[in-house]
Each structure stands twice: as C-alpha cells, then as structure tokens.
Amino acid sequence: MRLLANAFTKIRPDIHVIVLPSLGSGGGIAALAAGKIGLSVSARPLKKAEQDKGLRASEYARTPIVFATRHDNPAENITLDQIASLYSGERQTWPDGTPVRLILRPESESDTKLISAISPAMEAAMKTALQRKELHVAINDQDNATALEKIPGSLGLIALAQIMTEERRIKPLTFNRLAGTVETLRAGKYPYAKTHYVVINSQPTPEAQAFLKFIYSPEGQEVLSASGYIVADAASNPKM
C-alpha cells in the first residue's frame, strides 16, 4: 500500500494518502465501518455482518504465502511431515540440531486457517500448537515479519510480497521442494496463496475513489506486479 500510495501521489499530488500501521483485516474493516478511515485492505472476504453495514470488497491481487525463516538459517526446504511434527511439538529442532522457534498467528487469522487446511495431520498439529503457551504469537503481519526476521531459528508463514516490499531479511523455504514464487503460483504448480481485497464503504470519498481507481489502473498494476503479486483481472475493478 505504501508503494501504491507513493506512486499515486506522483500523479495526484493534491491527494495525501496516509497508510496506517497494520490493524489486521478485522481491525481495518471495523475502522472503515466506523468512518475512521476512507479505505481498508483485507486478507479475507467480508463477513455477512460487514456487508450488511454497506461495505464492499474486491480482490486486487494474490501473492504466494510461504514458510520462511531468518536469513542466516542454513535450511532450504521443509516437508509436510516436518511441519506437522514441529507444530505438534513432536520435533523441535532443525536438521542441524538448532532449536526451531515457531511463530504463530492468532487462531482467527487467515494464515492459521491456511496452514490447517493443508492436510488433516496439519489441522491436528495446528490445534496442538495453539495450545502451546511457550510459542510466540504475532498479532499482525508486521509483528510476524519482525519475529521471523529477528528470532534465531524462526519458522512461520508469510506472504512473499511482504518480504519483497518491506525488504525483510527473511528466507523463504521451498515446501516439499517446490518454491512459492509468482511464476509457480501463476502456473498452478504452487497452491498456497494469500488473496488481498480492497474494501470501501457505501459512500466513499472522492479521494478514496481516486486511489481505488489507481490500484486497478495499469500504473497501479505495474507496482503490484513488481512487488510479488499477481494482479486481479480487470473485471474485479468495482464499479463506482
């Protein structure tokens, strides 16, 4: 969003876009519904109660979501069996014997649900992990990235685009020897992705409308494509 805002203000210097620190999907949607912000982004579709408040959400991009660790970890790949045993606590070290420091997200977060949906074994392992009081729980995307970047032996899930746009010193791991890249996601080879939505209310301000239009413009899509995203089809552009 900051990259998009910077590109937008070069075209529309009369409009100042303020990108707030991460509120989480639910927090951003709630702030929009309360009239505190003019536009929100979300990693999930709107719930019915949110739609009933007059909010509308449209997909604007997808990015691979990858298992990742701190940049200096020698590990390169992780398997489904390894992930399940690490989250369940049956295994607690990397192949070189150093401790694994799992970074979890809250149970309600889309990342947690994505991991749980990988397999029945992973769903059971995640339920166990959420009960392990010693594990680090990152409340929002920025906390998650900082923990992965700073904690030795870290392991968690993160969007590829976040690593790229924030220039994080985080190493994406291949999963079952398959790299999570824009190319493998577009080709249908890599199935794990985070979909991002832009959310507006029933009466968006002219400034919010202008920024929304820019997101779906060729200039906005160029910013997204260079940042680890597959842009949404033009048909997703909400009609204002």
How many C-beta atoms surround the C-beta of residue 150 within 10 A? 11
* Domain residue limits at 173: 63-186
Mean pLDDT for the stretch of residues 59-79? 96
Number of domains in the chain: 2
Same-domain pairing of 76 and 175:
yes
Looking at the predicted structure, is the pLDDT value of residue 91 above 80? yes
Mean pLDDT check: name the lowest of 64-68, 111-115, 142-146, 217-221: 111-115
The phi, psi pair for 157, rounded to 5°, reads -110, 140
What's the CATH number where 109 sits?
3.40.190.10
pTM of the entire predicted model? 0.83
Least confident of 103-107, 119-123, 138-142, 195-199: 138-142
| Three-state DSSP class for residue 123 | helix
141 and 55 inside one domain: no
Encoded amino acid at 212, one letter = L
Percent of the chain predicted with pLDDT > 70: 97
CA distances from 52 to 58, 59, 214 (A): 16, 19, 26
